């Protein structure tokens, strides 16, 4: 047990802090929605030059070209989170690692540099109306016609499809193969004729997701990552990168601090919220949960540094992290009481109304990226070795 960072890393942390002190104020607001704006591109450029975005992506693909160092990446994430400064988007954090690992040289040259610069943005075409948790049952099909695949079908829950330049998409190319072996991973432009995007308004009042319809969409045969029928394997590679982002302990700690500040400043009947013992006890229980996930994250990080399998501590991050965020948002709303229902705009809004927005969004995240129930199946089957559910159906084409 040694929680100190060696001199090399302390120096690195100091560099990151100095950078944030100098440039942090000029960063565009975090979580800018939709297409990367010009400010965002400039910011991304600056981050890449300094090694704070696209850090480990090779220079010839537009990255900074550092050799992978988990601890340095961790320090960057931690310091940016503490400073509340927008991080680099490292291109698309799901697609780029997948292409780097499994793409051809041509595909890397074509896709990675513009993605890293923020000039090529992506959406993910996985879920379908009939294939959510049972993703491998997907039925959007692609048949070969000359030099092209011709795609017909429908995707849903496609985040950012209304803004994206490109899509990485799972389609069924081998209808007679077992369901996991009949899928391919295609990439194509969202401007391709035959694509119809319809925004799907969610309970937050915003359209973060879309339905995407494909009618005779023609995609050249070489726009495939991995081989035909290997798409499930390729996609699992992508999902691995996505799930780790959901349940970030830095974010949970930041949000916890925001609630403490809120409860210290807000008064009801002349009493600070934090002086109400019922609210306070809830707050402290959440702090215990937040800390447990923080230390769990340190344990996972240590395994990653040593190149060891993190095992159970890693399997539980998505389930616990999303639940914790949702519980924190509900705590903030309950502490505010009536003021907690104010939304969208108005002079009485607290923290821009973001707690209600998070309360709903975090529920969405409990469902998205593998529902909490699917997470529990995975923990019990893959991490604990309990038997799988008996299977009854065969895939219908």
Partner 1 sequence: MDFALTEEQRMLQQSIEGFLETNCPLDAVRIAASSGTTRVTEIMSGLSELGVPGIIIPEEYGGVELGFLEAALISEALGAVAAPVPFVATSVMAPLAILKGGNDAQKEKYLPQLASGDMSMGVGVTEQIGRRDSEGIQADGNKLSGRAMFVLDGMDADAYVVANTHGALYIVETPNVSKTPLKTIDKTRAVVELEFDGTEAELLPGSADNKEILLNIIDCGRVMLAADTLGASQTMLDKALAYVQERRQFNRVIGSFQAVKHMCAEMTAELEPCRSFVWYSAHALRAIPDESRLMACHAKSHLAEVGRFVSRKATECHGGMGFTDLLGLHYWFKRIGFNRQLLGSPELIREEAARIQGWI
**Which residues make up the interface to partner 1 (CB under 8 A)?**
1-6, 9, 71, 260, 264, 274-275, 277, 280-281, 284-285, 287-289, 291-293, 295-296, 298-299, 301-303, 305-306, 312-313, 316, 319-320, 373, 375-377, 379-381, 383-384, 386-390
Distance CA 363, CA 55 (A): 32
86 within 8 A of 28, measured Cβ to Cβ: yes
Could you tell me if 115 and 57 are in contact, meaning their C-beta atoms sit under 8 angstroms apart?
no
DSSP assignment of 341-369 equals G--SS-TT-SGGGHHHHHHHHHHHHHHSS
Nearest 5°: CA angle at 32, between 196 and 86?
140
311: helix, strand or coil: coil
Of 10 and 101, which CB lies nearer to partner 1 in the complex structure?
A: 10
Instruction: Tell the smallest beta-carbon distance from residue 330 to partner 1 (Å).
Output: 17
Cβ 365 to partner 1, closest distance in Å? 16
Q: Find where tokens 């108005």 sit.
A: 346
Burial class (CB in 10 A: 0-12, 13-18, 19+), 59: exposed
Residue among 100 and 317 whose Cβ is closer to partner 1: 317
Distance between CA atoms of 119 and 290, rounded to whole angstroms? 36
Q: How far is the CB of 10 from partner 1 (least distance, A)?
A: 10
Strands 122-125 and 166-172: parallel
Q: For this structure, is 244 an active site residue?
A: no
Active-site residue, selected from the candidate residues 242, 244, 309, 389: 242
What are the structure tokens assigned to 197, written together?
């995007």
- Residues paired with residue 170 on neighbouring β-strands, in sequence order: 185
CA distances from 75 to 66, 313, 372 (A): 15, 20, 29
CA distances from 178 to 142, 374, 381 (A): 16, 21, 21
Q: Which is nearer to partner 1, 161 or 293 (CB)?
A: 293
Nearer residue to partner 1 within complex by CB, 360 or 378: 378
**In contact, 115 and 95? CB cutoff 8 Å:** yes
Taking the complex as a whole, the smallest distance from the CB of residue 64 to partner 1 amounts, in Å, to: 22
Assign 175 to helix, strand or coil: coil
User: Token pair of 240, please?
Assistant: 């691995």
Q: Tell me how far, at minimum, the Cβ of 197 lies from partner 1, in Å.
A: 35
Nearer to partner 1, 92 or 266 (CB): 266
| Least spacing, CB of residue 279 vs partner 1, in Å | 11
> In the complex with partner 1, which residue's Cβ is closer, 7 or 347?
7
**Minimum distance, C-beta of residue 287 to partner 1, in the bound complex (Å):** 7
> Which residue, 201 or 284, has its beta carbon nearer to partner 1?
284
Distances (CA, A) of 382 to 67, 303, 307, 378, 379: 31, 19, 20, 5, 6
Catalytic residues: 242
């Amino acid at each position: 047990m040694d929680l100190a960072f060696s001199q090399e890393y302390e120096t690195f942390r100091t560099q990151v802090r100095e950078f944030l002190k100098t440039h942090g104020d000029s960063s565009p607001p975090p979580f800018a929605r939709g297409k990367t704006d010009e400010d965002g591109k400039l910011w991304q450029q600056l981050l890449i030059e300094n090694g704070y975005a696209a850090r480990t992506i090779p220079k010839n693909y537009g990255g900074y070209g550092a050799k992978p160092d988990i601890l340095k990446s961790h320090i960057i994430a931690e310091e940016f989170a503490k400073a509340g400064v927008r991080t680099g988007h490292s291109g698309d954090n799901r697609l780029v690692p997948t292409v780097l690992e499994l793409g051809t040289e041509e595909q890397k040259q074509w896709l990675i540099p513009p993605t890293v610069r923020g000039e090529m943005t992506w959406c993910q075409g996985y879920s379908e109306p009939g294939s959510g948790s049972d993703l491998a049952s997907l039925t959007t099909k692609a048949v070969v016609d000359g030099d092209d695949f011709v795609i017909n079908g429908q995707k849903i829950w496609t985040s950012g499809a209304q803004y994206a330049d490109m899509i990485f998409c799972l389609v069924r190319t081998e209808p007679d193969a077992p369901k996991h072996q009949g899928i391919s991973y295609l990439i194509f432009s969202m401007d391709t004729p035959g694509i119809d995007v319809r925004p799907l308004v969610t309970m937050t009042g915003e359209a973060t997701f879309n339905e995407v319809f494909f009618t005779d969409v023609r995609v050249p045969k070489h726009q495939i990552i991995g081989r035909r029928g290997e798409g499930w394997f390729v996609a699992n590679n992508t999902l691995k990168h996505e799930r780790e982002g959901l349940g970030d302990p830095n974010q949970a700690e930041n949000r916890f601090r925001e609630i403490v500040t809120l409860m210290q400043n807000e008064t009801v009947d002349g009493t600070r919220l934090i002086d109400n013992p019922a609210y306070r006890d809830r707050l402290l229980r959440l702090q215990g949960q937040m800390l447990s996930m923080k230390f769990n994250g340190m344990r996972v990080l240590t395994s990653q540094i040593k190149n060891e399998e993190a095992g159970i501590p890693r399997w539980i991050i998505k389930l616990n992290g999303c639940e914790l965020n949702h519980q924190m948002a509900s705590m903030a709303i309950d502490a505010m009481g009536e003021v907690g229902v104010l939304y969208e705009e108005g002079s009485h809004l607290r923290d821009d109304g973001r707690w209600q927005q998070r309360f709903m969004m975090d529920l969405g995240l409990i469902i998205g990226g593998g529902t909490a129930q699917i997470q529990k199946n995975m923990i019990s089957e893959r991490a604990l070795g309990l038997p799988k559910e008996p299977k009854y159906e065969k895939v219908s084409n």
